[in-house]
Amino acid sequence: MISATDIERALNGPAPAPSSDFDYAPNLRAGARTLRSAAVLIALLDGPRGLDVILTRRAAHLRNHPGQVAFPGGKVEDSDAGLWAAAVRESEEEIGLSNVRCLGALQGHESITGFEISPQIGLVEGRFTPRPDPSEVEEVFTVPLAFLMDHRNMHLHQREWHGQMRGYLAIPYGPHYIWGASARMIRNLAERL
């Protein structure tokens, strides 16, 4: 069983190169571009079956990524004290989560939509009752960390995007389809562990 201590140790080791949505779709890379800074929170709940990861399903009415599974998080604002602060602020706004202890951060991830995402990893301290903001989040759910860290549950899929075939990583879990940047960041954590 993976513990929070295992994760802290792994995150203190040497960091691999940043990842990208283009890792599985190099044909879509169009050259250098300016990326906007974002931070997400990979929040871990310690429970009787071990660690669970908190995920959200984005509201269906959103312009960007409607209905997709994601970590709570978003753009880094000028008022944020750093990437951790941005991830926690966004998590509190989206799902009411703020009682989190920082365990560390993964390498950055470049999204196909123009963000440099910094995945921050934290352990929820105390009780957590989700309070999803309906303007952003349709559902809050958890997935066992052990399931997400098992490479046998990770699959390479393809679909057409802007007239070209795009490869991407997917991790189906029950009715949930975790894919794209979220799945790639999960794989980054699995590779670190």
Confidence of residue 176 (pLDDT cuts 50, 70, 90): very high
User: What angle, rounded to 10 degrees, do the helices at 4-11 and 180-192 form?
Assistant: 90
On the CB side of 63, how many CA atoms lie within 13 Å of its CA? 1
- pLDDT, residue 163, reads 78
168 in a domain, yes or no? Answer: no
Residue 186 lies in a domain: no
What pLDDT, on a 0 to 100 scale, did the predictor assign at position 59? 76
Instruction: Report the sign of the C-alpha dihedral through residues 29, 186, 137, 116, in that order.
Output: negative
| Mean pLDDT, residues 109-126 | 93
Apex CA 149: angle with CA 148 and CA 154, to 5°? 65
Please tell me which of 20-29, 62-71, 82-91 the model is most confident about, judged by mean pLDDT: 82-91
Dihedral angle computed from the Cα positions of residues 161, 112, 18 and 3, in that order, rounded to the nearest 10 degrees: -80
Question: Are the C-beta atoms of 42 and 105 separated by less than 8 Å?
Answer: no
Region 118-139: mean pLDDT is: 94
Among residues 132, 107, 130, which one has the least CA distance to residue 20? 107
Is the model more confident about 24 or about 123?
Answer: 123
pLDDT of residue 159: 81
- 64: in domain: yes
Structural domain count of the chain: 1
Q: Which ranges constitute the DSSP H helices of the chain?
A: 4-11, 83-95, 145-149, 180-192
Q: What is the pLDDT of residue 60?
A: 66
- Segment 75-107, tens digit of pLDDT: 999 999 999 999 999 999 999 999 999 999 999
Report the pLDDT value the prediction gives residue 164, as an integer from 0 to 100. 75
At 167, list the tokens.
């490869």
pLDDT score at 67: 66
The predicted pLDDT at position 64 comes to 63
Domain that holds residue 75: 4-17+33-145
Domain CATH number, residue 118: 3.90.79.10
Asked whether residue 27 is assigned to any structural domain, the reply reads no
Flag whether 111 is in a domain: yes
Backbone angles phi, psi at 77, to 5 degrees: -95, 155
Is the pTM value of this prediction over 0.95?
no
